[in-house]
Structure 1
Amino acid sequence: MSGSSTNGPTAGGSVTGSGASERLGRLLGGDETAWLIDRARRRLEQGRPLTGTVTLTTATPAQRRAAEALLGRRAGAGSSLSVSLDEVDRILRVGGIAADGLREAVIRLRGPIRDLTGEKATRAADWKRAFAKLDALISERPELSGWRSWLESTGLVRRLATTAGEARTLLDRLSTVLERLPSPGTRLGRLAAETCADAHALDEGRPLATLALSAARALSGLPYASEGGADARRSAWAAVGVHLDDLSSFVLCLGLPGDDRSPTGRVLSAAGAAGEPCVLTLRQLLRHDTPLRANLVRICENPIVVAAAADELGASCPPLVCGGGRPSAAVWRLLDLLAAGGATFAYHGDFDWGGIAIAAAVHERAGFLPWRFDAASYRAVPSSAPLSGQVRPTPWDPELSVAMERRGVRVEEELVLPELVADLKLRTSS
């Protein structure tokens, strides 16, 4: 740069404080050099050195003139403008404008430099602490490891909690809820009150409820993302034993013996005498505190079996319970009451991986003999419907899962409806 100034270097090579500030403002404080200061500041915030060249691809004439005034020479030609940060740093130091060079100039013009790398590391540490309790729980619950990865990949927690501190509170509560799951026969409000000191913490739409419901689905082998709708929500909670209320959870049955000693017993007696299916709510079953007496109780997955049995057999139908897909809290309660009364169970369901998962849950809790629900029965039914989903074990007949994986078709319960009804009729006549 040429020309003299009363604010230029003194004979000793330094500039007065006010003169240095004025000159710094003229050289780098205007709009035309803002891009250069912005680039330098960004590098400092990222922990990178102020070396090398920065380029402005579409420079205006005013920006080029400002760069030339700073460098004291022409700054090239064309539309782009390149400036050496090393050269700017040297000019500021030698000219006595900023003793510590470009770094000092950036701070004087724009304020303190943020440590973005350090801030990022701090945020990462904060978020890791937010997940600490949940991760400790998952280390002991490997069935939730896939769900934990899904949480990370979808960013669901970060959408529900704006800060790591909020997330830590949310996830700590979630961990407390998960420690209680599965929780057979528990009302949702009670679970929320006992784990979160807030009976509404798991109400639909609350952040904790969103996370807890996805975890419940994971524990039940369902897709982590909610399908939406009250029925899907009710089913997901029911799969881990939790019911939304005593009346929305129910079980369909036919031919269960009743008695005249209790309200539930009288309901069963009346339905049995009429040969009609009976719907029992969880409320009724929770208030029935004595075992229900029966010998062999057959369990089906779909209501159509109960309807067909009622049409064909009416009042002569032997004990039959419908799981209705994933068993509700009412289903579990009824099976528990029957088991306490000495009943044994025989089970049939859909030959698909969802049906196998349902059957496995029933087998684990109540035990059963397969009712046309083994490998030989599966192979005997014609079907061309493709089988999809995750392969699952069949502990009541290990060969069944092997046969299903090899054959690769699904067989819905409706396809063997005549055989199932025939079995019930044979049981009646025997």
Structure 2
Amino acid sequence: MLKRLARRDPELAMRLLGQAGAVLRDLPASGLTRAQLAAKALGDAHALDGGQPAATLVLAALRHHEKSAVTPESGLADDAVEDTETGKPPERERDIWARAGVLVNELARPALLLNLPVHPSSTPPGMKGEPDYLSLRRLLRTRFEWAVERKRVYVCENPNILSIAADRLGAACSPLVCTDGMPAAAQRVLLTQLADAGAELHYHGDFDWAGICIANHVMQSFNARPWRFGSGDYVDAFASIPQKDRDLMGDGVSASWDPSLLDHMRAHQLAVDEEAVAHLLIGDLERQNVAPAAPVAGHS
């Protein structure tokens, strides 16, 4: 890569290495914008823009560092070369920068959440019972202390589910996060923070091929568990929706958590939107907040 970027010019190669080293010495950052980092380290606010040689080298170094830190026991895919098999989306530059604490388009696609608890010393992310958004900028700069160790945090694919949960349950709803489709940088940072804080993430999405791709990524990247998202749940779900034309085409995508799901979806060729089972999901979100009844004297 260095030969290509430097066009086989040794002097240019040394300059590029020096630039990459100067940037890497300032990492990880704490919510610094990419332009600020470039201006601070290289004296040019655009030196780390997409496609710039120094940016390409720095991103390669960050990828290599992350791959070296992944152990075989983790079960995580090492690189985008495995995307076809795992359903993991190609890595985007802004996601790699975000993990290094650098902001790129930090206000785009904020993470949608409801009732995420924090420790008393931490800033609450929003009003209890009301949906709220956290931008990538705020997630990297605020450093929330999530009070989720060994607690179940639900994750849905579609904003409508979170909206319905807020309307039906309000402050009584279990902690809920929405990926809003394939997680972008803000959603990935939030889910990583929750997983690192010890949360038990439970995921549900659309029963269609795109939904399975998203679920594969969430399950594998954040050690999430399926939430009413197995083959039996699919069979029950499509049996309860109004009759419609078959709308699942193609070979399909295998679900990493339930290989038999692919066979069932191929056989029936029917997609089931997450909203179609909203009543079941809302029931789970409510039941997790119901305190167990006090035992009656003489009964266990």
With normalisation by structure 2, the TM-score equals: 0.63
From 300, 325, 331, the equivalent of 2:187 is 331
Residue 378 of structure 1 aligns to a residue whose secondary structure is helix
The aligned counterpart of 2:48 is: 199
Q: Give the number of the structure whose alpha-carbon radius of gyration is greater.
A: 1
Question: How has the CA–CA distance of structure 1 residues 390 and 259 changed in structure 2, closer, same or farther, with 3 Å as cutoff?
Answer: same
Structure 2 partner of 1:296: 152
Matched, 1:287 2:141: yes
Q: 1:351 aligns with which of 207, 211, 231?
A: 207
For residue 225 of structure 2, the aligned residue among 369, 383, 388 is: 369
Q: Distance in 2 between matches of 1:252 and 1:389?
A: 32
Q: Kindly provide the amino acid, as one letter, of the partner of residue 159 in structure 2.
A: P
Residue number among 276, 290, 310 corresponding to 2:130 in the alignment:
276
- The amino acid that maps onto 1:408 is Q
Map of 1:38 onto structure 2? none
Establish whether residue 427 from structure 1 lines up as the match of residue 281 from structure 2: no
Distance verdict in 2 for CA 1:375–1:238, change over 3 Å = farther
1:64-75 equivalent positions in 2, closer than 5 A: none
- Measured in 2, the distance between the counterparts of 1:316 and 1:293 equals 17
1:414 Cα offset (Å): 1.1
Q: 1 CA distance for matches of 2:248 and 2:4?
A: 39
Task: Specify the code of the residue in structure 1 equivalent to 2:113.
Answer: C
Q: Report percent identity of matched pairs.
A: 34
Change (3 A) 1:336 1:217: closer
Residue in structure 2 matched with residue 406 of structure 1 by the alignment: 267
Correspondence for 2:235: 379
Show the 5 A alignment for 1:80-159. none
Give structure 2 stretches of 5+ with no counterpart. Answer: 9-15, 17-28, 57-78, 85-89, 99-103, 292-300
SS at structure 1 position matched to 2:260 = helix
Q: Which runs of 4+ in 1 moved over 4 A?
A: 185-190, 216-221, 238-243
Instruction: For 1:424 and 1:344, locate their aligned partners in 2 and report how far apart those are by CA, in whole Å.
Output: 14
* Contact 1:291–1:340 (CA under 8 A) maintained in structure 2: no
Residue identity in the other structure for 2:117: P
Picking from 223, 244, 261, the partner of 2:121 is 261
- Per-residue deviation at 1:288? 3.4
Q: Report the CA distance between 1:391 and its aligned residue.
A: 2.1
Tell me if the contact between 1:187 and 1:245 (Cα under 8 Å) persists in the aligned partners: no
Once residues 92 and 247 of structure 2 are traced to their aligned partners in structure 1, the CA distance between those partners, rounded to angstroms, is: 29
Please, what is the CA RMSD of the aligned residues?
3.9
Match of 2:110 among 241, 250, 272: 250
Equivalents in 2 of 1:408, 1:240: separation in Å?
Answer: 34
Aligned length: 224
Once the 2 structures are TM-superposed, how far is the Cα of residue 240 of structure 1 from its aligned partner? 5.6
User: Where is the helix percentage greater, Structure 1 or Structure 2?
Assistant: 1
CA separation in 1, counterparts of 2:33 and 2:209?
Answer: 28
Higher relative contact order (CA 8 A, sep 6+): 2
- Structure 1 counterpart of 2:201, one-letter code: F
Instruction: In structure 1, list runs of 5 or more residues that go unmatched.
Output: 1-129, 135-164, 166-172, 174-184, 209-215, 222-234
Residues 389 and 278 of structure 1: is their aligned pair in 2 closer, same or farther, counting only changes over 3 Å?
farther
Post-superposition offset of 1:388: 2.6
Is 2:154 the counterpart of 1:305?
no
Cα offset, 1:332, TM superposition: 1.2
- What are the within-5 Å matches in structure 2 for residues 158-169 of structure 1? none
Deviation track 1:300-338 (CA, whole Å, cap 9, x = no partner) reads 000000000000000111100000001011111111111
- In 2: Cα distance, 1:408 partner to 1:239 partner: 36
Cα 1:188–1:361 change in 2 (3 A) is farther
Match of 1:397 in 2: 258
| 1:217 to partner: Cα distance | 10
Amino acid at match of 2:249: S
For the residues of structure 2 that align with 1:414 and 1:257, how far apart are their CA atoms? Answer: 25
Q: Does structure 2 retain, via aligned residues, the 8 Å contact 1:318–1:424? A: yes
Kept in 1: contact 2:251–2:266 (CA 8 A) = no
